[in-house]
Chains A and B, each alone.
Chain A
Amino acid sequence: MAFFTEYLADPRTREALLQQTIEHIYLTAVPILLAVVIGLFLGILAHRSPRLRSPILSLVSTFLTIPSLALFALLIPIVGIGATPAIIALTLYALLPIVRNTVSGLFSVDNAVVESAKGMGMSATMRLWKIELPNAWPVMLAGIRVATLLTVGIAAIAALVGGPGLGQEIFTGIRRIPATGSLESLLGGTLFIVILAVLFDLLYLALGRLTIPRGIRE
């Protein structure tokens, strides 16, 4: 392990890893935010309309079956290289868990609760925002959490299309194999991605405590 601590002790490595970690956070957060906005819309639509439900769920499932390498590459002719193709591809991947959990979260809300809200004269919009979404939120948040962890991992591939992030360090290592230092780079990039994933997980734990109403917490 001595070689690896030496690698980490090098200030140039540390500076590069720190820089790439910040990029990686950006590369995860932006697609997640986009996917939450789009996924919420698609999820609510799929819940409301039985006719659109199956097409919407099939579409977002299909995205996840396209190999990531291919999807990133396919986007280059359209949007060029860099962060943009990565952000688009990652947004598409993050949609499935978010849409799926939004739909099942909304379906998990007790019918009697929705009916009594209706019976008291709440409009459909009010019911959605004041009753259905707050009660579906624990399930939705779990979906967003899965989507985030998924994105943290896949975001490494962005480096292949000239994107930023910890993937750069990993691919530097891969390209230099079997030269000295290649393994260190590979391990260093991976380690920081794992740490980042753990940190995101803790963030969601805290977010859950802050945003899930006490009345429906486990």
Chain B
Amino acid sequence: MSDVTNADPLARIGEEADLGETMIELQELTKRFPGQETPAVDRLSLKIPKGEIVVFVGPSGCGKTTSLKMINRIIEPSSGHIIMDGEDVTTIDPNHLRRRIGYVIQQIGLFPHIRIGDNIATVPQLLGWDKERTAKRVDELLEVVGLPPDEYRDRFPKELSGGQRQRVGVARALAADPPVLLMDEPFGAIDPITRTRLQNEFLRLQSELQKTIAFVTHDIDEAVKMGDRIAILQEGSRVAQFATPEEILTNPANDFVADFVGTGATLKRLKLTRVREVQPSEALIGRVDEDRETLRRRFDESEWTAMLLLDADGRPLRWLRGTDLRQTSRPLDQVGNRTRAMVEPQATLSDALEEMLLGAAGVAIVVDSRGAYKGLLDIDDIITSIQTMKDAQAEFYRAAKLADPEAEVPA
């Protein structure tokens, strides 16, 4: 009764970007460390589209961090080229290049001897901004990362928690509004709860800022969450697959990718599908301003076992059963069960599933941003959605088996 639309927004963004502008292009980028046989990064070629987050993910030692650090030439490439916004930056003054690229690292590296405000002001000062403009920008950025300027501007790094320090790290990287950000496991050393919060905040920020971001992580879940595209890297930074998270989870290019993505691919995939992409079903609706008799008749004529009562603005109020409608002693908005498990269209199916399980009713009510009723999502809708993904996956493996009869086909 509902169907999963094939038009995935993430995949669409990817297609558009293919036609769109490339912000960073790596051409045959190679790094050979002295005294090592094999290059740490071997002829890496990759295009990072403007305004996207591209995640470099791979097992430790695959060269992902080395690759990232060659973009701002913290590590100088042995050969190859870096093209940024159409300009070959492989040989320009690295210090000037770096002032155009925000840099966030796992250990944060705030300057311990100066105050938070001065830390954030570092690049504006290098660029010769005047005092007033710099001070204004510092306060603005502290606001953006959720640290009240009056409270935090004059503190020292050691007086902040790990999560707060990483917020400052992000603010410092954004200070001069660089078009490009490089992030090396930025949330890696932070406790899981704070990490999730910082990831969400950062994604919200990115939806406004539209920076071009190269992001390194070893965690496939983080890659799926943060990336518009993911580059899965093998030893020597060889690209095993470069695609949208969607594509990687459903159609891993080879065994290496499939192994790396791991067994939880279907569940991860649920995090990629938004509620709005699934057609919600209709509930039996009654409005609080309707006549009680009308509602009762509507209920009796339907096959439903419960009616969803909405308030005057269309917001879900109560679940009513037959007995609730037949009694007359109490107003309708005080009987039945309070509605729970409400999800907004931009929530993921994973969120919706969680709400359903918590709500124990097996359904989630889809509401818009004002809280008005849009439809119902039940557990069958989620199962259908999973089935669709599985079919796509099975199709992929069947095709793979035709191409290579020796290959193992997972059940």
Contacts and interface: CB of A to CB of B under 8 A. Distances in A.
Contacts of A135: 111-113
Contact of A122 (B95, B158, B172): B95
Contacts of B96: 121
B72 interface: yes
A131 interface: yes
Contacts of B109: 110, 112-117
A120 B103 CA distance: 7
Nearest to A213: B113
B113 A118 contact: no
Contact of B99 (A110, A120, A131): A120
Interface in A110-150: 110-123, 126, 131, 134-135
Nearest to A124: B95
Contacts of B172: 120
A215 interface: yes
A121 B102 CA distance: 10
B98 A215 contact: no
B74 A215 contact: no
B152 interface: no
Interface string B87-100: 00000001111110
B153 interface: no
Contacts of A111: 107
Contacts of A112: 105, 107-109
Interface in A3-62: none
A215 B99 contact: no
B113 A134 contact: yes
B74 A120 contact: no
A121 B99 contact: yes
Contact of B74 (A119, A123, A131, A134): A119
Contacts of A116: 103, 105, 108-111, 169
Q: Which of A118, A121, A122, A134 has the most CB of B within 10 A?
A: A121
B74 A115 contact: yes
B115 interface: yes
Interface in B215-246: none
B123 interface: yes
A113 B97 contact: no
A121 B157 contact: no
Contacts of A118: 74, 98
B108 A121 contact: no
Contacts of A215: 112-115, 156-158
A206 interface: no
A120 B108 contact: no
B126 A120 contact: yes
B122 interface: yes
Interface string A187-218: 00000000000000000000000000111100
Contacts of A114: 109
Contacts of B98: 118-121
A213 B114 contact: yes
Interface of A: 110-123, 126, 131, 134-135, 213-216
5 contacts: A120-B172, A121-B123, A121-B126, A131-B111, A216-B158
